[in-house]
Structures are given as C-alpha cells and as structure tokens.
Amino acid sequence: MVDYKSLGLVNTREMFKRAINGGYAIPAFNFNNMEQLQAIIKASSDLKSPVILQVSKGARNYANATLLRYMAQGAVAYAKELGCEHPEIALHLDHGDSFETCKSCVDYGFSSVMIDGSSLPYEENIALTKKVVDYAHQFDVTVEAELGVLAGVEDDVVAAESHYTKPEEVIDFATRTGCDSLAISIGTSHGAYKFTPEQCTRDPKTGKLIPPPLAFDVLDAIMEKLPGFPIVLHGSSSVPQEYVDIINEHGGKLPDAVGIPEEQLRKASKSAVCKINIDSDSRLAFTAAVRKTLAEKPGEFDPRKYCGPARDEMEKMYKHKITDVLGSDNKLAE
C-alpha cells in the first residue's frame, strides 16, 4: 500500500473548492509517456497552476503501473525543481471500469480515482460507485463518478449515442454514493471526431464544421439541484484546426475532425465545472509536430529530435489552455 501523501501528491478536494469559488477550472491532462508528463509539469509549474495528471487503464497497461507511480513522484520533484515550492498535483485514474481497477490505483498511490459506471443501469452505477467511495475514502482518496453517457470511446467502453445527464437524478445519486465530484453529459464527446458532419453546420467561407452548442441549460439545472458541487467535463478537447491541418498536410488523414469551441469551455470554467479533461489535443499537438519534423528532416532518426519539438508544442498548448481557457494560472495555494 502506497500512501499518495508520501509521494507529495494531493487529492482534488481543496483544489475543486477553490476553483468553484474562484470561477476557474483545473486542467486534467492525460499522459502515457515522459514527454507528455514533462510538458504538463513544465506548463503547470511555470504558470503556478494546480494540475491533475490523468491516467487511463489503457495508459497504465501501456506505461506499466509501477513505473507510472514513480513518474508521478518524479513529477512532484520536477515541479519543485522548476520553482514551485508547494506544487498541487493530483494523480487520477481516468474512466476506472471496475472496483478492482480503482482499488489497485488507490493501493498504488493515486490520490483520486474515477469510477465510470455511466453505461450501467442507474442502481448498479450507484452500488458500484458507493463501493469505490467506501474503499477510497478510508485513505482520503477522492472519487469522481459519472452520470449520463458521452458518445465516443471511454477506454474499453464504447457508446454510440450520448444521453444527457438527467438533472432530476443528481441529488439522489450524489447523496447515495457519497462521490466527491460528478462527470456529466451535456454534449461533449471523446476523441477528435466529436460530432458527425450532419450534427454540425458548415462555415460557408472556410468550409469548416461548426459544432452544435453544449447544453448549458442542463448544466444550469444540475447546478441548481447541487449548489457548489464539483462538476467535471470529459471530452473537452477543442481539436485545434492548425494541428489537424499540419497533420493532413504532412501525410496524415483526419477528415472533418472537430472539437468543442474554446469559448464554450471558458464559459463552463466560470461555473461549478471545476475539472476539464483534455487528452486528444495533446495527441494532436504531438502528432502534428512529429509529422512536420520528420517530413522536413527525412534523414532524422534520433527520437529526441522529433519528440523534443512535440514536447515543446504540447507545452505551448497546455499553457494556452491553462491561461486562456480554464483560467487556473496563479491559483496555487502558496
């Protein structure tokens, strides 16, 4: 059993409370490799932002669970080296699919876990979430739950259609499970293809897709039922067009990729939405930089020469999200 506090990590309770009161959101960035982790820590430390390092079950399998834990411990030391005396870094399991996965993460030093019972019938979601909460809270580990279904891939769970969270269920769900935060469905979606062209309109000048707006009325109704309760948005990459264009111009094929407009995320950040999940934008930044570098320097075969620019591009993107979208810069408690 590894106590996350001994690794220098924090759970999400205090950072969420301050984010709701302060009208900003904490970035939850997924990572699978060293370059992503370096870029996340550099961006959040330089900007004095609390940050959630998010790890999916797939990422744990890819990177090795033990190595990941030491990487998180190293991340805390790196943030201090960069001048953050008291970094606020949470290590969070993304889309935990079972009690066993969540328990394993709690036991491995995670400070926060998500149990994703959103594809289960309501009562089963409650029972599973409560079981995880009862275990995690013994160790002061915070728990995110999900109610409502996002379209797209959620690790091993694939949903063809989304179903908005029903505001009339949230009080019962939060009370009976004891969860610390709630991921909701208001129209965001995972991956780089969040909407089909049929769901969008097209800008007549550029031909680019304009996605449908998020359901802020559903968010408002949820906040009215659960005042001050931490709300989480998954599937919140904006799929920057410049990355999609670079990828497509250098041998890639991402037709009609479309994300959530940043103005809408900015608006959500000012509400009880206090955690915003971003993974695909990091993948796009990385891939765009690697494709461009290799296309321009076909003789290059030292991975540092193309992973380095990819890391720089991700850091730039993370800094933009922190400063210009979520507003979590200069929000460390120190």
Judged by the rule CB under 6 A, the positions of this chain that interact with ligand G3H are 30, 56, 58-59, 94-95, 154-155, 190, 279
Binding to Zn ion (CB under 5 A): which residues in 203-242? Answer: 234
Answer for the pair 119, 139: CB distance below 8 angstroms, yes or no.
no
CA atoms within 13 A on the CB side of 116: 24
Helices 262-269 and 216-225 cross at an angle (nearest 10°) of 10
94 counts as catalytic: yes
Over its C-alpha atoms, the chain yields an Rg (Å, rounded) of 19
The DSSP bridge partners found for residue 273 are 231
Which one of 3, 46, 94, 134 is the catalytic residue? 94
Nearer to ligand G3H, 55 or 170 (CB): 55
264 lies in the binding site for ligand 13P (CB under 6 A): no
Binding partner selected for residue 59 from Zn ion, ligand G3H, ligand 13P, none, CB under the kind-specific 5 to 8 Å limit:
ligand G3H
The DSSP bridge partners found for residue 233 are 184, 276
Nearer to ligand G3H, 223 or 243 (CB): 243
**Which region, judged by CB under 6 A, interacts with ligand 13P, from 276-284, 288-296, 307-315, 325-333?**
276-284
Q: What does 181-250 look like in DSSP terms, one character per residue?
A: EEEE-SS-BSSSB-S-GGGSEE-TTT--EEPPPP-HHHHHHHHHHSTT--EEE-S-----HHHHHHHHHT
* Tokens standing for residue 36: 């992503």
280 lies in the binding site for ligand 13P (CB under 6 A): yes
Query: Taking the CB of residue 201, how many other CB atoms lie within 10 A of it?
Result: 10
42 lies in the binding site for Zn ion (CB under 5 A): no
278 lies in the binding site for ligand 13P (CB under 6 A): yes
Judged by CB under 6 A, the residue of 30, 162, 181, 328 near ligand 13P is 30
* Tokens standing for residue 110: 């995670």
Spell out, one character per residue from 54 to 93, where the chain touches ligand 13P: x when CB under 6 A holds, - when not: ----------------------------------------
Q: How far is the CB of 259 from ligand 13P (least distance, A)?
A: 7
Judged by CB under 6 A, the residue of 18, 57, 60, 190 near ligand 13P is 190
Q: How far is the CB of 95 from ligand 13P (least distance, A)?
A: 6
Spell out, one character per residue from 138 to 177, where the chain touches ligand 13P: x when CB under 6 A holds, - when not: ----------------------------------------
117 lies in the binding site for ligand 13P (CB under 6 A): no
Binding partner selected for residue 185 from ligand 13P, ligand G3H, Zn ion, none, CB under the kind-specific 5 to 8 Å limit:
none
Q: How far is CA 112 from CA 21, 29, 327, in A?
A: 21, 14, 22
Answer for the pair 162, 189: CB distance below 8 angstroms, yes or no.
yes
Alpha helices in 82-187 (DSSP H): 99-107, 122-137, 170-177
Nearest-5° angle of CA 158, CA 160, CA 161? 125
Q: How far is the CB of 71 from ligand G3H (least distance, A)?
A: 15
Answer for the pair 109, 3: CB distance below 8 angstroms, yes or no.
yes
Catalytic annotation, residues = 94
Residues that bind ligand 13P (CB under 6 A): 30, 94-95, 190-191, 234-237, 277-281
Residues in contact with Zn ion by CB under 5 A are 234
